[in-house]
Amino acid sequence: MDSISNMIIIMKNGSLAGKESVLIPYSKMKNAIGECLKKAGYVSEISKKVKSGHPVLEVNLLYVDKKPKIAEVERISKQSRRVYFRMKDIHSVRNGKGLLVLSTPKGILSGKEARKEQVGGEALFRIW
């Protein structure tokens, strides 16, 4: 299974179930995605821990007025079909209420950061 899809679905399901935090198997890519989501205000805390001898990422989820900040996610680029955006193809998600996450030569960036840095890249997912 696709590990990035697994990560965002775990966070979505955890937030819809009202969980305070979720545990995700650790990788550098997932850590970078978590830091991007933390910077954008979708999660409050990211920390690497060891559980049963395996590294995991503990992600603390955010809620606004008891409603989850992460309501829906959409995977764009998949293992079977990679999708790349040029800088001019990057647009706002849900009229600015969502976030586009890209893998660029400058690292994992949100859509706004990628436009500011004037880089394109592989579109990983949308979150709102």
Q: CA torsion, points 25, 27, 31, 37, in degrees to nearest 10?
A: -70
Identify the helix (H) or strand (E) that includes residue 32. Answer: helix 28-40
The pTM assigned to this predicted structure is: 0.93
Spatial separation of the C-alpha atoms in residues 22 and 58, rounded to whole Å: 6
Q: Which residues contact 31 (CB under 8 A, 6 or more apart)?
A: 46, 48, 57
**Tens-place pLDDT, residues 34-46:** 999 999 999 999 9
Architecture of domain 3-127: 2-Layer Sandwich (3.30)
E strands, 79-119, are 84-85, 99-104, 107-110
Residue 93 Cα distances to 47, 60, 66, 72, 96, angstroms: 27, 23, 23, 12, 5
Q: Domain ranges in the chain?
A: 3-127
> Binning pLDDT at 50, 70 and 90, where does residue 1 land?
confident
Going 95 to 96 to 102 to 105, the CA torsion angle's sign is positive
**Tens-place pLDDT, residues 63-117:** 999 999 999 999 999 999 999 999 999 999 999 999 999 999 999 999 999 999 9
